[in-house]
Amino acid sequence: MKMSVNIAGVELKNPVVTGSGTFGFGEEYGEFYDLSELGGIGIKGLTLKKRDGNPPPRIAETPLGILNSVGLQNPGVDYYLEHDLPKLRQHDVKIIANIAGNTVEEYCEMAEKVSAGCDLIELNISCPNVKEGGVAFGTSCNMVEHITREVKKHAAVPLVVKLSPNVTDIAEIARAAEAAGADALSLINTLLGMRIDIKTRRPVLHNNVGGMSGPAVKPVAVRMVWQVANAVKVPVIGMGGIQTAEDAIEFLLAGATAVSVGTANFRDPYAALKVVRGIEAYMRENGIEDVAELTGGVRPY
Amino acid sequence: MAPQSVICKVIHNREIARGIFDMSFACPGMAELARPGQFVHIACGEGNLLRRPISIADILPGALRVIYEVKGEGTRYLSQLKEGDPVDVLGPLGRGFDLSRASGNAILIGGGIGVFPLLPVAKLLGKRAYVALGFRSASAAVLTEEFSAVSAGVHIATDDGSMGYHGFVTDMAEMLSGVNPTILYACGPKPMLKNVKLLAEKFGVPAEISMEERMGCGIGACLVCACKTRKNGEEGFSHVCKDGPVFDASEVIFE
């Protein structure tokens, strides 16, 4: 039974990775299980300089989902490379470095720096929680094309462009990224949402709005993965509300080559590992030899 | 030691005051690891995605006890659990109180539902623990006898004067200066903790305070439970779940 998948020349031992921002730099979850069991680890979004992030509250619960507004708190790329990366490198697992910047130049500089210490770069042009940069780069075809083309020149490892769902036509954005040289695409980032406390008339999040994730967004994510996978040739990493292997298999059938487990880690620290085991069990039960057979296997009407 | 994620069995779960529930659950490994001031992260049914962080109110042989207020859907789910029911617990988590810093007497200051994590502190310090508890009113006063039984003495303050001292628990605690405290341990609402920080400065002793914030993963990965601190001269956001919930009061910045 073959569990490994190939993303732009990088072989993941299985199709399950973790969602950036939900898994820190891996260390905390490494106390629960061997991180080498995963296909890859999407690390917390990095910026050129240390960022403090937004004031609390940064999280709100919604029906079968959450809103977050962390605002890319991180120690800065240099600190990460020196202190956190060496620990993570002790595990036999592919590392996906998520990078964000305020300007195109910053993204390029980031790409150069992290190329030395990761297997894939995930271009974060879809973070809804920062005032500058972030999602502003990810919502127009022209901007996506421009930033992808520029960063690609500075990336020594394959470039995965992470798409925002907060757009009118995600397939169009996906085609722009592919045309500019993206080696793979990942989607969806969080959906912009809001909650209001009716007693205080204040938003629950200090940032007023935040990114929504969790099982509630899954049908939207599956639909977008399906649309994008049909629009491009590059591999797609699908994510959005995956809690179980059944959820993950939906994304694979919709056209994803790999899947990412995010918010589910908060509920169950073993969530990503259970998805790996569950996919294996499904393949055994259904006589599937190669997990790649599932990719795009949906039979649409 | 690494925290554990375990399906435990409820030993008992009963209402001890209006909307306040006292629950114990069997968890031999977790109980052995737990320290005063740490918390457990409890899953509250399929409908509530996030776990609820609840401080440990007692460390028993092979079991932990938590006391919580029903505030929303999650805690309502917990309140309906019966003896023998499974409960999904992640813990013990966070940095607890450092009792080795109490070189002599200590004053424990608790406000409202913040009194619960101080019970295991009182039990370990015994006759060195002078306890000051603040409540809204006499009807909200809980656990006072348990504190009395294990400590050097309990002093009660209420907002409405219906029991004990009429006023702030920190003002009452200030009158305990005669016990020569070597440290203050506190948990309660933010305005109270801010006063505890000032009181510690007045006494010239350190204070350890337990903070609360809306939480996600509970283990330090998602970074949502931010608390503004100053460490080594540098201002930034620490995280209640991993850097806390107990902080040295001198590090916490109150806005």
The phi, psi pair for A62, rounded to 5°, reads: -130, 170
A118 noted as active-site residue: no
CB neighbours of residue B145 within 10 Å: 8
pLDDT band at A136 (very low <50, low <70, confident <90, very high): confident
The sheet with strand B207-210 has its strands ordered as B165-166, B153-158, B129-135, B105-111, B181-187, B207-210, B246-248
- Give B217→chain A minimum CA distance, Å: 4
Closest Cβ–Cβ partner in A64, A215, A266 for B216 = A266
A10-12 and A59-62 strand pairing: unpaired
Is a pLDDT exceeding 80 seen at residue A135?
Answer: no
- In chain A, the domains with their CATH numbers are 5-49+74-194+215-293 (3.20.20.70)
**DSSP state, residue A164:** P
Q: Cβ contacts (< 8 Å) between A56 and chain B: which residues?
A: 213-214, 224-227, 237
The closest of A48, A116, A61, A59 to A85, measured between CA atoms, is: A116
| Structure confidence by residue, pLDDT tens digits, A237-261 | 999 999 999 999 999 999 999 999 9
Q: What is the mean pLDDT of chain B?
A: 96
Q: How many CA within 13 A on the CB side of residue B230?
A: 6
Q: For residue B237, what are the β-bridge partners? A: B228
pLDDT score, position A129: 67
Helices (H), chain B: 28-33, 73-79, 119-125, 144-150, 169-174, 190-203
- Side chain identity at residue B161, one-letter code: G
CB contact under 8 A, B49 and A270: no
For residue B217, list chain A residues with Cβ-Cβ distance below 8 A: 22, 28, 265-266, 269
Report residue B229's pLDDT band, with 50, 70 and 90 as the boundaries. Answer: very high
pTM for the model stands at: 0.94
Minimal C-alpha gap between A252 and chain B (Å): 24
Give the whole-angstrom CA distance, residue B246 versus residue B186. 9
DSSP code string of B105-172: EEEEEEEGGGGGGGHHHHHHHGGGEEEEEEESSGGG--SHHHHHHHSSEEEEEESSSSSSEES-HHHH
| Residue A126 binned pLDDT confidence (cut-offs 50, 70, 90) | confident
CA distances for B175 relative to A254, B107, B203, angstroms: 68, 11, 11
Banded pLDDT at A67 (limits 50, 70, 90):
very high
- pLDDT digit string (tens) for A146-187? 999 999 999 999 999 999 999 999 999 999 999 999 999 999
Give A64's contacts in chain B (Cβ within 8 Å).
Answer: 47, 49
pLDDT value of position A279? 98
What integer pLDDT is reported at residue B255 of this predicted model? 79
Residue in chain A closest to B46 (alpha carbons) equals: A64
The arithmetic mean of pLDDT across residues B77-88, rounded, is: 97
Is A267 close to B223, i.e. CB distance below 8 A?
no
Cis peptide before A188 (omega within 30 of 0): yes
Residue A146: φ, ψ to 5°: -65, -50
Instruction: Give yes or no for A51 touching B (CB within 8 A).
Output: no
The minimum CA-CA distance between A42 and chain B, rounded to whole Å, is: 12
> For A80-84, A126-130, A257-261, B206-210, which range has the lowest pLDDT when averaged over its residues?
A126-130
Flag the least confident range among A27-31, A126-130, A243-247, B73-77.
A126-130
Strands (E), A28-127: 40-42, 59-62, 65-68, 94-99, 120-124
β-sheet bridge partners, residue A73: none
Residue B21, amino acid: F
State yes or no: pLDDT of A127 exceeds 80: no
Q: How large a percentage of chain A has pLDDT more than 70?
A: 98
User: What Rg value do the Cα atoms of chain A yield, rounded?
Assistant: 18
Q: Is B146 exposed, middle or buried (0-12, 13-18, 19+ CB in 10 A)?
A: middle
Average pLDDT over residues A11-40: 96
Task: Report the C-alpha gap between B192 and B187 in whole angstroms.
Answer: 8
Average pLDDT on A40-50 reads 96
Secondary structure (3-state) at A101? coil
- Residue B115 amino acid letter: V
Among the partner-chain residues B5, B43, B225, the one whose CB lies closest to the CB of A270 is B5
Q: What is the pLDDT of residue B238?
A: 96
The DSSP output letter for B245 is B
The answer to whether the Cβ–Cβ distance between A269 and B5 falls below 8 Å is: yes
Mean pLDDT on A30-56: 96
Instruction: Give the residue from chain A lying closest to B216, CA to CA.
Output: A266
Verify whether the Cβ–Cβ distance A56 to B217 is below 8 Å: no
Q: In this predicted structure, what is the pLDDT of residue A131?
A: 64
A24 vs B: CB within 8 A: yes
More confident residue, A133 or B171: B171
pLDDT category of residue B1 using cuts at 50, 70 and 90: low
Residues 6 or more apart from B97 whose CB is under 8 A from it?
B35, B36, B37, B117, B121, B185, B208, B210, B246
Sorted by where each starts, the structural domains of chain B and their CATH numbers stand as 4-93 (2.40.30.10), 99-210 (3.40.50.80)
What pLDDT is stored for residue A133 in this prediction? 62
Dihedrals φ, ψ of B243, to 5°?
A: -75, -25
- Report pLDDT for A80: 95
Tell whether the model's pLDDT for residue A130 goes beyond 80. Answer: no
pLDDT reading at B157 higher than 90: yes
